[in-house]
Structure 1
Amino acid sequence: MGRASDALKQVLDAYSISQNKLAVTMGISRANVGRWYHGLDPSAENITQITQALKTLNPLAAKEFVRLYLGTIVED
């Protein structure tokens, strides 16, 4: 499992966000989210879209996704 897909799985599980809800918010098929959830890393462009969708659904989930994926690289 890649780092981004692992971060996405953790966030969706921790914040009780369904794969379908994320897919609908992003305007994509649930199968795409399912592939990411089960280990295929999303592209950089998709990571941006995932973050935006999570921010819409739950801003804390979006922050946690970025933290899990990037670590503390952008923090003080």
Structure 2
Amino acid sequence: MGKAGKALRQTLETYGISQNKLAVTLGVDRSMIFKWYHEQRDPTAETVVQIAEALKGLNPEAAAEFIRLYVGDFLL
């Protein structure tokens, strides 16, 4: 498990976004965010896109950071 959870954790901590706030924005139970955050489960590729979209609605810089941390400099 790993990269998505690490990217999510770092992004939420850096931008002060709570797991609960992201869960509400995504429309999922907070336990799912907890599992991704603590690397107990990996989100699907489709869910990674949904996370990025939710973060974009909360803070566009956070969404960009999440994608950068998850994908790396591959897209640059």
> Aligned partners of 1:34, 1:50: CA distance in 2, in Å?
13
What one-letter code is carried by the residue in structure 1 that aligns with 2:22? L
Q: Cα offset for 1:22? A: 0.1
- What does residue 66 of structure 1 align with? 67
Which secondary structure state, in structure 2, belongs to the residue aligned with residue 72 of structure 1?
helix
- What does residue 42 of structure 1 align with? 43
Q: How many residues align?
A: 75
Unaligned runs of 5+ in 1: none
Question: Aligned Cα RMSD in Å?
Answer: 0.7
- What does residue 8 of structure 2 align with? 8
What one-letter code is carried by the residue in structure 1 that aligns with 2:5? S
Q: Cα offset for 1:43? A: 0.8
Q: When the two structures are superposed, what TM-score results if normalisation uses the length of structure 1?
A: 0.95
Unaligned runs of 5+ in 2: none
Displaced runs of 4+ in structure 1, greater than 2 A?
Answer: none
Q: Cα offset for 1:41? A: 1.6
Deviations 1:36-75 (A, max 9, x none): 0000221101101000000000000000000000011111
Q: When the two structures are superposed, what TM-score results if normalisation uses the length of structure 2?
A: 0.95
Larger relative helix fraction: 2
> Aligned partners of 2:2, 2:59: CA distance in 1, in Å?
23
What one-letter code is carried by the residue in structure 2 that aligns with 1:4? A
